[in-house]
Amino acid sequence: QSFTRENGRVSTYILWDIDGTLILGNSRAGALYLDSIEQVTGVRPTVRVSNPHGMTEGQLLAEVLEVNGIDSGLLPDVLVRLDELSLAQHESGEYPREAAPGTAAALEAFAERGWINALLTGNGPNRARYKVLAAGYSADTFDWEHSYFGHESPTRHHLTADAGNALAGHHAVIVGDTPKDGEAADSAGFPFLAVATGSFTADELRATNAVLVIDDFATGLDAAIDAIVAIDQSIGAASARR
């Protein structure tokens, strides 16, 4: 979704990952992937992908199919079935999600400063919506028109490149919890703000090019705001020199 700036106004987009960033992990995570594949192919995968963290949904499902010797051409059908199962799960209300510490306050604080909260996630748009609603967030918190979804992206780099093209001329910061989030941010030229509420420790995330690593937004919100203000000022100064 590309767009032009209105009246020359430059906006700042905060692009949030979902799993491990906005919501905490859950022991049942991934079950719907296996269910979707089994219901489409008749085969329940037994071989797991060794390091799925930071993968897009399309990438992960394609790898699960491959390592289990299942026809990867069935991926589009699996994605459709995943959407259907995700809706049924959401409507049942039996699978609440837990918001990561301090994220609701961070979303509110960012919006108060005129920054736009949006999503950059490996999930598809419907599954992303169900997840944030189940964690107690309002859908209106996010700019869905300028959010970016990875259900059909082969890699996170591909997803982030699409976001970079769409947001050209604006400021954007990626907030995520994995080194792959950081690598994808680097590939698109986005600053990366890392939060250690997922599967990686703060020390592991400091090995990325993150402009800031925080334990969570309950303790790191002020530092995050300062970092984003500094990014805005730095980009603005660089633009003025050109």
Distance (Å, whole) CA 21 – CA 24: 7
Six-digit token string for 216: 């969570």
* Among 1-10, 111-120, 152-161, the range of highest mean pLDDT: 111-120
Task: State residue 237's pLDDT score.
Answer: 63
Say how many C-beta atoms besides its own lie within 10 A of residue 67's C-beta: 14
Instruction: Summarize the confidence of residues 91-118 as an average pLDDT.
Output: 94
Say how many C-beta atoms besides its own lie within 10 A of residue 9's C-beta: 7
Distance of CA 112 to the CA centre of its chain: 22
3-state secondary structure of 4: coil
Structure confidence by residue, pLDDT tens digits, 14-50: 999 999 999 998 766 678 899 999 999 999 999 988 8
Confidence grade of residue 238 (pLDDT, cut at 50, 70, 90): low
Structure confidence by residue, pLDDT tens digits, 119-173: 999 899 999 999 999 999 999 999 999 999 987 777 788 888 889 999 999 999 9
Is a pLDDT exceeding 70 seen at residue 236?
A: no
Is a pLDDT exceeding 90 seen at residue 8?
A: no
Instruction: Summarize the confidence of residues 217-225 as an average pLDDT.
Output: 98
Is a pLDDT exceeding 80 seen at residue 10?
A: yes
Q: How far apart are the first and last CA of the chain?
A: 26
Tokens 């997922």: give the residue: 198
- Sequence-distant (≥ 6) Cβ neighbours of residue 46 within 8 angstroms: 68
Residue 28 gets the label, from left (phi > 0), alpha (psi -120 to 50) or beta, of alpha
Six-digit token string for 35: 């269910």
- The strand pairing partners of 19, in sequence order, are 23
68 close to 138: Cβ distance less than 8 angstroms:
no
Residue of higher predicted confidence among 53 and 192: 192
- Sequence-distant (≥ 6) Cβ neighbours of residue 207 within 8 angstroms: 179
